[in-house]
Amino acid sequence: MLIHALGWPVMESFATFGSLAHRPVPPDAMRRFNDLVGQRIATRKPVAYLLGEAWLQGVRFVVDERVIVPRSFIAELLPQALEPWLEAEPRRVADICTGSGCLGILAALRWPQARVLCTDISADALKVAEANLRLHRLSDRVELLHSDLLDAIPTPPAGQGIDLLLCNPPYVNAAAMRTLPQEYQHEPALALAGGIDGMDLVRRLLVDAPRVLAPLGIVVVEIGHERAHFEAAFPRLPVIWLPTSAGHDSVFLVQAAGLREAA
Ligand SMILES: C[S@@+](CC[C@H](N)C(=O)[O-])C[C@H]1O[C@@H](n2cnc3c(N)ncnc32)[C@H](O)[C@@H]1O
């Protein structure tokens, strides 16, 4: 908030903050800072909404209360961790439940040859994603689609399809939804609530995914702290847990072949 109030460039200032910290804060910046802190305390709004922006993997996204604050742990995996599971550079990537578009955009930046499809059921969220596509000049390579999970995605011809399907769905279970801190109540409930066991969306996604995946495609899904619920829902699915800063079992990967066999 202070960097924002000072009007300094965010990423560069984080990197050099130690050496800048002795500088006096001009009175108008101090007023803006105090105002932000006051709003943060009074409203309990996440800082990203107060500032209208959030940063993920060093990339800026515009955000407001139509989307959750970008923080998916899948973002950490995009630079390197998926490589052993990808046959080649992915040509077709999908970001299902895209919200601000953050994962689809990070994927598009990571794989410059890829075409990326971002879907969401919320028309409001897609407007924010559109603003982020414009911000990153990716509108020619990243397509937005209004869809209930995969429903609006046409079935590809045999042998083709999505090489890498990313999804950070709503996965908070009903009991946890009731105890979320006030900050989360500023986020769209549609983006958080995943039904009684948190798995409503994951169930439907994994059942339908083989229809749109390439033969060697992979699916990467974030489920937070819901591993027990996930394993109860999918006791025999051969998934690979991918370590992130959230722990070793918040994100899993499953191959198209594994999904087809399980089906
Ligand atoms: C947890 S947020 C993830 C947003 C973004 N991918 C991220 O990581 O910041 C989940 C998103 O799923 C969307 N959503 C909820 N139900 C959906 C459905 N049935 N089909 C598609 N998207 C859905 C919500 O609108 C929300 O934007």
- CB-ligand 1 contact for 244 (6 Å cutoff): no
Residue 148, pLDDT score: 98
In this prediction, residues 103-132 reach a mean pLDDT of 98
Residue 237, pLDDT score: 96
User: What's the CA gap between 68 and 143, in Å, rounded?
Assistant: 20
SS3 55: strand
Write the residue with the smallest CA distance to atom 6 of ligand 1.
Answer: 98
The whole-model pTM stands at 0.97
| Distance from Cα 99 to the centre of ligand 1, integer Å | 5
List own/partner pairs for 233-242 with CB under 8 A and 24 or more apart: 233/197, 233/199, 233/202, 233/203, 234/206, 234/262, 236/262, 237/206, 237/262, 238/262, 240/85, 242/77, 242/81
User: What does the pLDDT look like over 79-95, one tens digit per residue?
Assistant: 999 999 999 999 999 99
In this prediction, residues 76-81 reach a mean pLDDT of 97
- CB-ligand 1 contact for 97 (6 Å cutoff): yes
Q: pLDDT averaged over the chain?
A: 96
Q: What confidence tier does 20 reach under pLDDT thresholds 50, 70, 90?
A: confident
Considering only residues 87 and 70, tell me which one the structure prediction assigns the higher pLDDT. 70
- CB-ligand 1 contact for 144 (6 Å cutoff): no
CATH of domain 66-262: 3.40.50.150
- CB-ligand 1 contact for 250 (6 Å cutoff): no
Residue 23, pLDDT score: 84
Q: What confidence tier does 9 reach under pLDDT thresholds 50, 70, 90?
A: confident
Q: Residues 6 or more apart from 126 whose CB is under 8 A from it? A: 98, 118, 120, 144, 146
SS3 96: strand
Look at the chain and count its residues: 263
Q: Residues 6 or more apart from 57 whose CB is under 8 A from it? A: 75, 76, 78, 79, 106
In this prediction, residues 107-132 reach a mean pLDDT of 98
Q: What confidence tier does 22 reach under pLDDT thresholds 50, 70, 90?
A: confident
- CB-ligand 1 contact for 202 (6 Å cutoff): no
The one-letter amino acid code at 231 reads E
Token representation of residue 9: 């460039």
User: What does the pLDDT look like over 158-192, one tens digit per residue?
Assistant: 999 999 999 999 999 999 999 999 999 999 999 99
Q: What confidence tier does 78 reach under pLDDT thresholds 50, 70, 90?
A: very high
- CB-ligand 1 contact for 149 (6 Å cutoff): yes
Nearest to 76 by CA among 222, 224, 244, 189: 244
Indicate which atom in ligand 1 lies nearest the CA of residue 122: 25
User: What's the CA gap between 214 and 217, in Å, rounded?
Assistant: 5
- CB-ligand 1 contact for 99 (6 Å cutoff): yes
C-alpha 125: how far from chain center: 12
User: For the chain, what are the domain ranges?
Assistant: 2-43, 66-262
- CB-ligand 1 contact for 125 (6 Å cutoff): yes
* Beta strands 240-241 and 251-255, pairing class: antiparallel
| Distance from Cα 257 to the centre of ligand 1, integer Å | 25
Q: 10-24, 75-89, 203-217 — which is least confidently predicted?
A: 10-24
